[in-house]
Amino acid sequence: MGYIIAIDQGTTSTRSIVFDDQFAIVGQGQEEFEQHFPKSGWVEHKPQDLLTSVITTCKKALNDGKIRAKDILALGITNQRETTLLWDKVSGEPIYNAIVWQDRRTSKFCDKLRSDGVEELITRITGLLLDPYFSATKLKWLLDNVEGARAKAEAGELLFGTVDTYLIWHLTNGVIHATDATNASRTMLYDINESKWSSEICDMLNIPMSILPEVRNCSDDFGVCDEKILGHKIPIKGVAGDQHAATIGQACFKPGMMKSTYGTGCFALLNTGQSIVRSNNKLLTTIAYQFDGKPTYALEGSIFIAGAVVQWLRDGLQIIKSAAETQDLAIQADSNQQVIIVPAFTGLGAPYWNADCRGAIYGLTRNSGPAELAKAALECVGFQTRDLLEAMQSDWHDDGEEKPVLRVDGGMTSSNWAMQFLADILNAGVDRPKTLETTAVGAAWLAGSAVGYYPPFAEFSRLWKSESHFTPMMQEEQRERKYSAWKSAVEATMRV
């Protein structure tokens, strides 16, 4: 008997989960870590917190399952994407805190690049929009603003990496400096057409290519976790960014298959196979996963606020005590009212990409109360998902007669009411998986399949099972009336 351990290193916490051969969880550990906000719009993590939380949660997971480290056959890593680190090649000491994907300190520099007319070039090479969200301008900021950083980088004394690379380097005791294709594709430095780092963009941003990690497949050899860390040598065999790992965990291996993850925000990915699809709707073109040197591509859309709107009802308005209350309130809501929340608390993501507009509520009456607001909070997530999926379908030009089923995961999917509304407003089936930890499952499968513990992806796809299937039941006239009201509310919000 053996096991696989998956590390899920997230933005606010780290989880490690031990899986058996049926993907059942046999041990787990979780640990939150501190967020740092040194200036308005700046978000940082202490690199040591990331590494320490990984090691601590791995030990907790082993203890929880009463499992010995020598019984772990392989380790997989999935991680928060775009977060940027730079460290000393010899000592391993970071030269600065990790700059988190949410950080906006390079906004003005991105505006300058845009005014210089280079956004089209960057998008053509990387598939990404020119935005501080991605790693490239964060890395340039580190080189330009940390004393001595550029000179050391040019002398070959520093190493760059996203969180996966930083963890791999330390877990292997400095032996392996590598990333996988999915994380590389989120740096805004990687040529997704040629599957290599872009010398053109590196030259443009004055980034020495010697500091960049080697790019490997998602299921590959990433070295061996040093025995001093967990008590036994464990091969690291799988790596993917969190949304890509969720796509894999949902077994979205066929072109046209879609998954949507609902956490604080929402990330939807559409598998486009071997085709690099250029979006006309401000979606991102990215690498879904890569096996045997062959990338599979995807369109990705991001919603900034999904579960966070429910948190706002709880923490901001204080009209609920827990997220679970929203389902019962939504059922009780007055069906004759059409209250709409446009949750643009930090602007609107895809397909609008309007950073300046702010949240608004429409349709309030004297009878509007907690029930109507709870219903509107759940509905706005469905409306935003339809925005994304319609944009994806427009870019994808799928000739299929039937809409594909959307596979969902994340905290909000526990609400049957929200998932039924999602199916209704999309007029498409929605599948909630039997195994909800899809991100960790994806990382575990990458590692386990590499050592022959888990089956190849074709068999893995057949093993995937839904726990619940939601079929659209809403009348077409009602569906379109509600969605039209949403679109009008969004347009009004963006005009303010």
pLDDT of the residue at 352: 86
Cis peptide before 38 (omega within 30 of 0): no
> Does residue 434 carry a pLDDT above 90?
no
Residues 62, 25: Cα–Cα separation, whole Å: 11
Residues 274, 294: Cα–Cα separation, whole Å: 8
pLDDT of the residue at 393: 86
Cβ–Cβ < 8 Å for 222, 7: no
User: Where residue 344 falls among pLDDT bands split at 50, 70, 90?
Assistant: confident
pLDDT of the residue at 198: 97
**Mean pLDDT, rounded, for 270-293:** 92
Cβ–Cβ < 8 Å for 375, 339: yes
> Does residue 402 carry a pLDDT above 70?
no
pLDDT of the residue at 444: 96
pLDDT of the residue at 59: 96
**Mean pLDDT, rounded, for 164-168:** 97
Closest CA to 348 of 492, 445, 455: 492
pLDDT in tens, 364-380: 999 999 999 999 999 99
pLDDT of the residue at 310: 86
Closest CA to 81 of 28, 132, 134: 134
pLDDT in tens, 43-64: 899 999 999 999 999 999 999 9
pLDDT of the residue at 399: 56
> Does residue 400 carry a pLDDT above 60?
no
User: Where residue 464 falls among pLDDT bands split at 50, 70, 90?
Assistant: confident
> In Å, what is the CA distance from 198 to each residue of 190, 204, 285, 286, 416?
5, 10, 16, 15, 45
Residues 232, 278: Cα–Cα separation, whole Å: 46
User: Where residue 394 falls among pLDDT bands split at 50, 70, 90?
Assistant: confident
| Lowest mean pLDDT segment, chosen from 5-9, 63-67, 290-294, 346-350 | 346-350
Cα Rg, the chain, nearest whole Å: 22
The 3-class SS string of 432-443 reads EECCCCHHHHHH
pLDDT of the residue at 72: 96
> In Å, what is the CA distance from 343 to each residue of 243, 306, 337, 356, 490?
22, 8, 18, 13, 10
| Lowest mean pLDDT segment, chosen from 88-102, 194-208, 335-349 | 335-349
Residues 340, 327: Cα–Cα separation, whole Å: 16
**Mean pLDDT, rounded, for 230-248:** 95
| Lowest mean pLDDT segment, chosen from 169-183, 399-413, 418-432 | 399-413
CB under 8 Å to 476, separation ≥6 — which residues? 427
> Does residue 417 carry a pLDDT above 70?
yes
User: Where residue 284 falls among pLDDT bands split at 50, 70, 90?
Assistant: very high
Residues 70, 231: Cα–Cα separation, whole Å: 8
**Residue for token digits 């020598």?**
70
pLDDT of the residue at 461: 86
| Lowest mean pLDDT segment, chosen from 27-41, 72-86, 187-201 | 27-41
Residues 348, 356: Cα–Cα separation, whole Å: 8
> Does residue 496 carry a pLDDT above 80?
no
pLDDT of the residue at 91: 93
**Mean pLDDT, rounded, for 337-348:** 88
pLDDT of the residue at 349: 80
> Does residue 398 carry a pLDDT above 70?
no
**Mean pLDDT, rounded, for 241-249:** 93
**Mean pLDDT, rounded, for 61-87:** 95
pLDDT in tens, 125-158: 999 989 888 999 999 999 999 999 999 999 999 9
Cβ–Cβ < 8 Å for 287, 300: no
> Does residue 457 carry a pLDDT above 90?
no
Residues 83, 135: Cα–Cα separation, whole Å: 6
Q: What percent of the chain has pLDDT over 70?
A: 99
| Lowest mean pLDDT segment, chosen from 147-151, 211-215, 217-221, 350-354 | 350-354
